[in-house]
Structure 1
Amino acid sequence: MSTTITSPTEKITYEGSKREIVTDKGVLRYHEAGDGPPLLLLHGSGIGVSGWRNYRGNLDVFAEHFHCYVLEFPGFGVSDPVDGPPVLTATASVTRFMDALGIESAAIIGNSMGGVVGAHVAMQHPERVEKLITIGGVGPNIFSQAPSEGTRLLRDFADAPSREKLVRWLECMVYDTAVVTEELIEERWETAKDLDSHKTLAAMYGSEAAAAQQRALEKSDTPPYWSMMRKVQCPTLFTWGLDDRQCPPDMPLVPLRLAPNAELHVFPNCGHWVMIEAKDAFERIALEFLRR
C-alpha cells in the first residue's frame, strides 16, 4: 500500500546537542560534541536518513578525542532545502558550513553519499580536508550488478512509497536483520513522509531521475568523480562491509588504486552501515587512523 507524502508542520526534532547556523543559502543544522581538532561527520542518503541517526551511536567515542560536528545536509528533512543535485548541494554545504563556523580544515568521516561528498570536497578544496574516512559509497560497480539491490529498492520506494518497501530496504542495509527494530522502522518512516526528504530521495533514486541522469551521462564529456580520485591527496581510509548489498565491496578497488594515500579495511559479517554493525571495530580502526 502506497502513501501520500505530505509536508509536516514542523521539523523532526532529535535528542542531543543540535545547533543551527544561518548561511546565505538557508539554515544548516548540526550536532556538536567534544573538544580537540575538528571532525566532520557526513551522513548518507536513503530513506528517512539524518546525520544524527547515522552517528548517534558513535558520537561519544569520537568526541573524546575530537570536536565533532554532525552536519545535516540540505533537503533531507532537517536543514533547509537547496535547489540542485543533492550530492552537489551537499558538497557546497560542507564548505559553507566550515566558513560559517570558521573551520579552516578538518578530518571528515562520510557514510555512503557522505563519503562521496567528502571526496568531492577533498578534490575541490584539498587544503580543507586533513584526513578522509569513507564508509561504503565511493567508486564504480566493477563485478557487481549496477544498479545494486539496495539502489533498486530505493528506486521502488521513491516511485511509490510504502512502509513495507521501507522495511525491505532497511533489511537490505544490514547483515543481521535484528538491527532493524520497530523503533528504527517507525522513526525512518516518520521522516520519509517529509516532503523535502522525499523530494531529495526521488531526485537521487526515482525512475525519472535515473533516466535523466543516464541521458546526461551519455551526453557529458566530464569523467565520473571516482576516476579523478588521484586528486584526493590527503590520507584516506576506505571502510566497507563485506556483505554490503547497497554498495558492493568491489566498488573501492578503483579509488583505492587511484588515491595516492589510501588504504582499505573490510569488515566481515557486516552490511552497509559499518558504523552501526561493526561499531566497536570501526571506532577503533577509525581512531587509530585519525590519530596517527
Structure 2
Amino acid sequence: MTLDLTESGTSRELKLDSATVHYNDLGEGHPIVLLHGSGPGATAWSNFRPNIPELASRFRVLALDLPGWGGSQAVPMGERDHPRTVVEFLDALGIEKAALIGNSMGGVDSLATAALYRDRVSHLITMGPASKPRPGLFGPGGGLSEGMKILVAGYRDPSQETMRRLVDIMSYNSGDASDAIAAERAAAAQANPEHLKHYLEGLATGHSPISRWATPEQLMGITAPSLLIHGRDDRVVHFESSLELVSLIPDSRLVLFNRCGHWAQLEHAAEFNRLVADFVANN
C-alpha cells in the first residue's frame, strides 16, 4: 500500500487542555516537532514544505500549528502558552522526548520549551529567533524592524499583493516561487479571519505573539544539544540574536548563512536538511 504523504493525507487533530491543535504526522523514528513563525497565513506545513519529505525519510515528523495559526484553535494572545502546548502535545502522543525545530516565533517557543521543560527536549534547532524581548519587535518602543512592519501589515491586509511583499522581505532572494507562496499565504490568512483579529487585538492591548520568553539564566540551563541557524541578511530579526544565544546555551553551535534572510530552511533547504539530519542522528 502506498502511503499518502500529502498535507491532507497526514493531517491530524488533537484536543489538548490548552487548545485543539492541528498537526501533520509522517515518517518513523526519533520524533521531530516543527514549530512555525508568527506571520499571517503561517502553518507548520507551509513553513517547512521542502524539509518535511527529507526529514520524514529518517525521523517521525510532527508539523504542529500553534494555537492561533493554521488549522488550530483560535485563541487570544493573552491566553496562549506555547511551551506548555508543546508539552501537552508530546504527552497526548505518548512521546517522552522530541527534537524541536523552530523558525522565528517557533524558535523562541523552542528555546523556552528547552529551558523550562529540559527533560522533554532531546535536540534544539532554531532559525532566526529573537534572543529576548526587544523594544519595537512586537510593539511600541524602538520601532518595528523592516520585516515586522510588513508582517503586521499582512494581518491588516491579507491580500496576495501584501503577501508578496512579505515573501520578498523574508527572503534574500525569493525567486520564482514568490507568487505561489504569496497566494498560499493569502488564502490561508483569509480562511482564518479570527486568527487575524486576535493578532491585531493582541498587539493593540500590549500582548505579544511570543507567549513565554526564556530568561538569560534559563537559557544557560538548557541541556539539549543546540544548533542555531541564522541568515546574515535577515531583515526581521538580526543575526546578533543568535550570536547572543550561542554565548548563553552551553552545548550550542551557530551556522550563519550568507545570502539568506529569515527563512533559512526554505532558502537553503538542501543544506538545512543535511545539517539537521546529521545533527539529530549524531548528537
Aligned to 2:124: 132
CA–CA distance in 2 between the matches of 1:238 and 1:108? 12
Task: Measure, in 1, the Cα distance between the counterparts of 2:276 and 2:198.
Answer: 29
Give the equivalent residue in structure 2 for 1:248.
238
1:227 correspondence with 2:216? yes
CA distance in 1, matches of 2:216, 2:119: 20
SS in 2 for 1:263: strand
Q: 1:29 to 1:273 in 2, by over 3 A?
A: same
Name the stretch that deviates more: 20-29 or 189-198: 20-29
Report the residue type matching 1:198 in the other structure: L
Alignment of 1:1-292 (within 5 A): 14-85=7-78, 88-140=80-132, 147-159=144-156, 161-193=158-190, 194-203=192-201, 206=203, 208-209=204-205, 212-213=206-207, 225-228=214-217, 229-292=219-282
Q: Which moved more, 1:190-199 or 1:251-260?
A: 190-199
Q: What amino acid maps onto 1:105 in structure 2?
A: K
Distance 1:154 1:24 in 2: 30
In structure 2, distance between residues paired with 1:161 and 1:150 = 15
Partner amino acid for 1:128? R
1:28-76 CA deviation, whole Å, 9 max, x = no partner? 1111111111111111110210011011211111112211111111111
Contact 2:30 2:60 in 1 (8 A): yes
Residues 76 and 200, structure 1, Cα contact 8 Å, conserved in 2: no
Root mean square deviation, CA, Å? 2.5
- SS across alignment from 1:52: helix
Q: CA deviation at 1:156?
A: 3.2
Name the SS of the counterpart of 1:134 in structure 2.
strand
Which letter maps to 2:127?
Answer: I
Residue deviations 1:87-138 (CA, integer Å, cap 9, x gap): x432221111111111111111111111111111111110000110001113
State the alpha-carbon separation in 2 of the partners of residues 168 and 148 from structure 1. 14
1:32–1:189 CA distance, 2 compared to 1 (3 A): same
Letter in 1 for 2:214: Y
Kindly, what percent of the aligned residue pairs are identical? Answer: 32
94-103 or 185-194: bigger deviation = 185-194
Partners of 2:179 and 2:116 in 1: CA distance: 41
* Per-residue Cα deviation, 1:193-247 (whole angstroms, up to 9, x for no partner): 222321343256x4x24xx259xxxxxxxx9635231122211111011111111
Are the aligned partners of 2:29 and 2:58 in contact in 1 as well (CA < 8 Å)? yes
Structure 2 unmatched ranges of 5 or more: 1-5
What TM-score results when the alignment is normalised by the length of structure 2? 0.85
Tell me the secondary structure at the aligned position of residue 200 of structure 2: helix
**Could you say which residue in structure 2 is the equivalent of 1:220?**
none
TM (norm. structure 1) is 0.83
Q: Is the 8 A contact 1:274 1:282 kept in 2?
A: yes
Aligned residues: 266
Closer, same or farther: CA 179–130 of 1 in aligned 2, 3 Å: farther
SS of the residue aligned with 2:234?
Answer: coil
Q: Is the 8 A contact 1:35 1:63 kept in 2?
A: yes
CA positional deviation for 1:161:
4.8
